[in-house]
């Protein structure tokens, strides 16, 4: 008659209304946090047996919750709590810090990412195990610790609107027509000044090409390089899965070059024979390593003397906490460095605005490729962004984000120290994510060891409403198991809850 | 010692300064209009022989003008006048009425256009004579009657800003993250409803893909079709130069299929063996012909029974004046029609927002191509546009534009009747442009006749500050000489002045 689960006692139920009663009890438990988001309801068979009611009663109660939108059937994964009844007519209190009215499905449709293009991780059908990626990406999550997002709640809506009003009142009618495929002169000038003061790059505005994010920059460059006979672009190992898949999608091979504590191994790069390399020198994705001075000099020799092409994905260089700024490679050798960056980690990925500074020899072909792609970026967001840059709003936003992100990073590191002491933290001095690896004892990943793989840990986490990225996604070769964890887009409560949950899963699974 | 060309006499030159002298004489001739913009300098060999000077003298003089930016060397096409020395330190008056402080460079960098993609006319190096197009496009103009623009001064700035404010106040933080590469659900739903009420198309929002204009739609489709083994897409003849070059740029051949008063000749299409055809059925570019009922039925049989693919560029269907609306081909045979349209002629090309409705079999590949291109359109303009569609603002704007454009069209037709009675007007019942052809007596174009070509008329016009498109640009085969004239973006005064000037040029040249 009674169940351990929620201490339910069917004797409390009115005659003929057992399904209603059970649905009500479950709703209460979701509302007050006893059944947290992401947790799983017992199988209908099991709960019916415990309560000694017919299975139809339990099925019907679950069905009511499904119709309410509080739970979702997930096939073999069972029935999972997907929304707290915060705003339902039945009232109730979420009790879950920071979960919004939309059920906390932050970024469910397309979030994730990091490392310039890791936003697209798992989106490419060609990838081995793409199905697993897709499942993980599409699954609802109460807490999303995948990397690649800044604090989206901090988007400066009022400043954006003010700037847009100013832009619309100043604009000449001709500006609404077709324009330069390289972008509007105002933004190209603002970007050139931004790069000079924040990244040490001297650029002529005429050389700046405005693009729809780093994704488009790399796609355009890939088209041009293929046309020039390039068959491959070397990538960092470990290195962003999304970027690698993106290059492969555009027909380029991606030989992996190992990264150690000093950054990419230039000797190995030279030995690979690759004509070009894609780098994240300011904060390597996912390890967070900074390319050191000696490696920079080696790399410059490889490019200047050996004719190699460097593609610099400067994806989160502005976000640094405990270290001095690192100048961009572009500032050292403009002739052989194709620089790309975006506002995805400064403002919002949804803006789809980025810029590239190509080496002179590829500039004309890249402008032609941009024109063939879409005739140029949308003009209004360009002009608004230019204004935010020129009025100092963007710098204010960056300072604000830096403080907030640093506190969230500190929260995550503290939580890892307290709950996951067996994990080693990497690359936390900058950026919007950090990486942890597990010591021996928690084996797995794609290292071929016998223990649990990090992909299994990520899958177990998603079943509990927590989304994280396995480090092995970003490795083409065996590497210790680990996770890549974004902190910038999450509240301290979610960060602590997420790490605590992760710790319990690690205990369960090892 | 002397040349017929500009009546130059080398005896006037100071000793030892012949190159300087020649450069000065040429500069004067450009400034006072004797050497109009777009015209060609004699070959160095020829002029040197005429002047009886060494070829080095002429080469050096041309080099000075090139460094000044007044001429450009164009390989086999010779050396062409590309800029009047209006603003050079040497002074001089362009003689081009109304050239402003910025040299009158209205839209110089990228304006022009019409016919979906004619905006890009002349931008592609592969095109025969592309250099001449580039010169004409880049030249400054006091009056720009090239086709393809709506009235840009009518852009609804206040409504846009109101909608943006509403969007920014409603938006969840998650919407600033990465999103569905197909576009935001709100816009896809608004577009589906818009297409249902304005174009007779029943579409599921899930099937709508938001793109950066028709240019991107065709680029993505070209990539997918190439992957599927398509080598060519037939095009209308006459038909948009820009669209044809765009497809060629993406690796597709463009066999021309003649258009008569009923639209494209479907028999000729079938005989060509082309697996696909790109059409502008509501208002053929540039002729303005509407695809009639019998041709529609033949075309549907070609597609349904013969397996042909129809690409429908619905570029200006909303703009009609004296005729009933024409349903979209997509509404007749969704399985074999890939539909594409944009807001470029409804609001502004600068927004770079359009949509496509692919046949089901290509949908998945097109979404993947959109993702690889740029991960999806910028979100804020999508949401603002969705709101303008849902609140009825876009329909209000269209009604307003229709009245204004109709008056401008009437002004242009009246001016042509009064000043260019020898011209025949085509396709003026709809759209944002009309086309004129000249009767016998003004021969030329690419018809191979002996008279003046329409490209020469356009070049003469540009030298006087008037920009028009030669009809022959849009023809792959011989066709009567003519001009394609946009009226929607110009004031009645400019329209009348432009046609009057054109009439005087025709008189001078015939």
pLDDT for res A84: 59
Is the pLDDT confidence value at B165 over 70?
Answer: yes
Decide: B422 and B439 in contact? Cβ < 8 Å.
Answer: yes
User: Which of helix, strand or coil describes residue B507?
Assistant: helix
Contact: A352, B175; criterion CB under 8 Å: no
pLDDT for res B302: 97
CA B198 to CA B392: how far, in whole Å? 12
Contact: A380, B111; criterion CB under 8 Å: no
Count of residues making up chain A: 510
Main-chain phi, psi angles of B312, to 5 degrees: -100, 110
Is the pLDDT confidence value at A399 over 80?
Answer: yes
| Tokens read off for B458 | 């356009």
| Tokens read off for A179 | 């324009």
CA A89 to CA B509: how far, in whole Å? 80
Is the pLDDT confidence value at A96 over 70?
Answer: no
- Give residue-wise pLDDT tens across range B477-509: 888 889 999 999 999 999 999 999 999 999 888
Mean pLDDT of B265-294: 96
| B467: enclosing H helix or E strand | strand B466-467
Which A residues 313-352 touch B at CB under 8 Å? Answer: 347-352
0.80 surpassed by pTM: no
pLDDT for res B106: 23
Asked if A106 reaches chain B (Cβ–Cβ under 8 Å), the answer is yes
Confidence of residue B439 (pLDDT cuts 50, 70, 90): low
Asked if A422 reaches chain B (Cβ–Cβ under 8 Å), the answer is no
pLDDT for res B388: 97
Q: Is the omega angle on the peptide bond into residue A164 within 30 degrees of 0, that is, cis?
A: no
Contact: B351, A379; criterion CB under 8 Å: yes
- More confident site: A16 or A18: A18
What ipTM is given for this predicted complex? 0.77
Pairing of strands B354-357, B276-279: unpaired
Confidence of residue B95 (pLDDT cuts 50, 70, 90): very low
- Which of A124, A173, A489 has the CB atom closest to B152's CB atom? A173
Distance from the Cα of B90 to chain A's closest Cα (Å) equals: 26
Is the pLDDT confidence value at B234 over 50?
Answer: yes
Which A residues 192-251 touch B at CB under 8 Å? Answer: 211-213, 215-216, 219, 246, 249-250
- Give residue-wise pLDDT tens across range B327-385: 899 999 999 999 999 999 999 999 999 999 999 999 999 999 999 999 999 999 999 99
A307 φ/ψ sector (left φ>0, alpha ψ -120 to 50, else beta): left
- Give residue-wise pLDDT tens across range A345-389: 999 999 999 999 999 999 999 999 999 999 999 999 999 999 999
- Give residue-wise pLDDT tens across range B40-87: 788 888 888 888 888 889 988 988 887 776 777 655 567 777 666 532
**Average pLDDT across chain A, whole number:** 84
- More confident site: B326 or A285: A285
Confidence of residue A321 (pLDDT cuts 50, 70, 90): confident
- Which of B178, B181, B373 has the CB atom closest to A349's CB atom? B178
pLDDT for res B115: 34
pLDDT for res B69: 67
Nearest one of B352, B304, B354 to B332, comparing CA atoms = B304
Confidence of residue A3 (pLDDT cuts 50, 70, 90): low
Percent of chain B with pLDDT over 70: 83
Decide: B2 and B9 in contact? Cβ < 8 Å.
Answer: yes
Query: Which chain A residues are closer than 8 Å to B155 by Cβ?
Result: 173, 176
Burial class (CB in 10 A: 0-12, 13-18, 19+), A507: exposed
Confidence of residue B318 (pLDDT cuts 50, 70, 90): confident
Decide: B136 and B462 in contact? Cβ < 8 Å.
Answer: yes
Asked if A179 reaches chain B (Cβ–Cβ under 8 Å), the answer is yes
Contact: A378, B379; criterion CB under 8 Å: no
- Give residue-wise pLDDT tens across range A221-277: 999 999 999 999 999 999 999 999 999 999 999 999 999 999 999 999 999 999 999
Which A residues 111-140 touch B at CB under 8 Å? Answer: 111-113, 119-120, 123-125
- More confident site: A32 or B282: B282
């Amino acid at each position: 008659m009674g169940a351990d689960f929620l201490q339910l006692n069917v004797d409390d139920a009115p005659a003929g209304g057992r399904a209603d009663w059970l649905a009500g009890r479950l709703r209460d438990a979701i509302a007050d946090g006893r059944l947290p988001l992401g947790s799983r309801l017992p199988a209908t068979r099991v709960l019916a047996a415990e309560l000694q009611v017919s299975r139809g009663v339990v099925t019907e109660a679950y069905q009511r919750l499904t119709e309410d939108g509080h739970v979702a059937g997930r096939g073999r994964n069972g029935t999972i709590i997907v929304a707290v009844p915060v705003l339902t007519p039945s009232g109730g209190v979420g009790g879950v810090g920071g979960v919004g009215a939309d059920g906390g499905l932050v970024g469910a449709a397309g979030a994730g990412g990091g490392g310039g293009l890791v936003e697209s991780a798992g989106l490419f059908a060609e990838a081995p195990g793409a199905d697993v990626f897709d499942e993980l990406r599409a699954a609802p999550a109460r807490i999303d610790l995948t990397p690649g997002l800044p604090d989206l709640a901090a988007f400066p809506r009022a400043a954006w609107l003010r700037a847009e009003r100013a832009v619309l009142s100043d604009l000449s009618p001709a500006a609404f027509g077709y324009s330069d495929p390289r972008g509007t002169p105002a933004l190209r000038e603002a970007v050139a000044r931004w790069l000079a003061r924040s990244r040490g790059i001297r650029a002529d505005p005429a050389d700046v090409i405005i693009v729809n994010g780093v994704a488009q920059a790399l796609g355009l460059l890939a088209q041009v390089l293929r046309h020039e006979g390039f068959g491959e672009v070397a990538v960092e190992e470990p290195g962003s899965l999304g970027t690698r898949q993106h290059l492969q999608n555009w027909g380029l091979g991606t030989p992996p070059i190992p990264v150690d504590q000093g950054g990419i191994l230039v000797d190995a790069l030279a030995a690979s024979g690759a004509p070009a390399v894609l780098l994240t020198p300011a904060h390597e994705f996912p390890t967070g390593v900074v390319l050191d001075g000696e490696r920079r000099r080696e790399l410059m020799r490889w490019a200047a003397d050996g004719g190699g092409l460097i593609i610099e994905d400067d994806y989160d260089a502005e976000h640094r906490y405990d270290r001095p700024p690192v100048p961009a490679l572009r500032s050292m050798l403009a002739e052989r460095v194709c620089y790309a960056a975006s506002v995805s980690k400064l403002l919002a990925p949804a803006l789809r605005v980025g810029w590239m500074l190509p080496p002179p020899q590829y500039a004309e072909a890249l402008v032609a490729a941009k024109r063939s792609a879409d005739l140029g970026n949308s003009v209004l967001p360009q002009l608004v962004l230019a204004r935010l840059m020129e009025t100092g709003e963007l710098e204010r936003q960056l300072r604000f984000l830096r403080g907030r992100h640093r506190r969230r990073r500190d929260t995550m590191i503290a939580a890892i120290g307290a709950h996951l002491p067996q994990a080693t933290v990497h690359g936390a001095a900058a950026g919007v994510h950090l990486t942890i690896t597990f010591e021996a004892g928690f084996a797995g990943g794609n290292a071929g060891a016998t223990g649990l793989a990090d992909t299994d840990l990520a899958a177990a986490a998603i079943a509990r409403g927590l989304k994280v990225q396995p480090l092995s996604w970003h490795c083409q070769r065996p590497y210790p198991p680990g996770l890549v964890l974004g902190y910038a887009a999450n509240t301290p409560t979610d960060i602590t809850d997420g790490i605590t949950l992760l710790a319990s899963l690690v205990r369960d699974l090892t």
